[in-house]
Chain A
Amino acid sequence: MSGLTSLATTAATRVPGWDLLVEPWQFAFMQRALLVTVVASVVCALLSCWLVLIGWSLMGDAVAHAVLPGVVLAYLVGAPFAIGAFLFGVGAVALIGGVRETTRLKEDAAIGVVFTTVFAVGVVLVSTTPSQVDLSHVLFGNVLGVSDADVVQVLVLAAVAFAVLVLLRRDFTLYAFDRVHGHVIGLPVRRIGALLLGLLAVTVVVALQAVGVVLAVAMLITPGATAFLLTDRIQHMLLVAPAVAVVAAVAGTWGSYVLDVGSAGLVVVCQGLLFAVAWVVARRRDRRAAGLARRRPAAATRAAT
């Protein structure tokens, strides 16, 4: 960062506002916060593409909340928080599947009952151990105070999730698009779905560090939804979603320093703003396309045949 600093001092004389742009990154805790937030954002964004396409947004919400008691228990027994969180995330998914398959409840009801209950168990656990666990850190993240061990945990888990998502992206897309076809050509469709849910649990663990339990779900939905509005190919979605998420991560982390506000909230607000921009862009594009089609029906028909 020292090179960047000297660059900043020379540029500062010419570019107004440069100081403000660069100042936050001189601090080690800010660099670390940025690293964790960007890494978490990228992995979440990648996964969010499939969650949005499959219609698993609520499932993302559920897993994000259900990890709370796992995190608390892990702190209590001194285990890595990732292990507790992962176990409870996977456990919640299994429980949701169990309730759905053995009752006539619709999926959203099964999800709602399970994750709120598990989350509430976490809240109770926290209230019994007030001195050892800071609830607000778990709920809203504490990216400015992450330890080296936590950073390593995040980087390793994110790297694994990223690699699996990229390597098996076509299987996940087939799963989202046409499970029956996958089954008929002999692919292990159930295992692909289970793997995706497992990766969801891992990704939530990563996102926890950056933005906490409550806002992790935003990172698992918004970038994918934004990319869906802007592109019409899954291949492009998988590039646009992480790009959007990185922009939001950098802007949010920077803004949190400059404005002296919490970074988790601001990162998610930035994601929401980018979604709003994408929404406007997509609306205008669709209107223009509809207008063209009306004005030149003959040309459109020719193109369609």
Chain B
Amino acid sequence: MGRLKKRLHSLTAKMLDVPQDVTLDLPRLTMIGDRQLYIENHRGVLQFTSELLRLSLSKGELEVRGRDLVMRAILPDEVFIEGVIAGIQLLHNE
């Protein structure tokens, strides 16, 4: 996305009070306690073990730490994780 377009999108999102993931291509995380995590809008799996899941995002990375992590389902831009989730970290590599 061009910078102008990005700013335009951001402006529209602010003006219309639309959730930003819709316009700005941001990930949306839905978490149920420490057992289930639903991630939309990712850009691929970078690393996956039973303790750590690293996902690529449109901007940066997402790290999920925990125990016994299992991908219940995986689709091109959605991941559904189950297990005991200890932490989520967003990394900006810019």
A, B co-complexed: no
Identify the A interface with B (CB < 8 A): none
Residue ranges of B at the interface with A (Cβ–Cβ < 8 Å): none
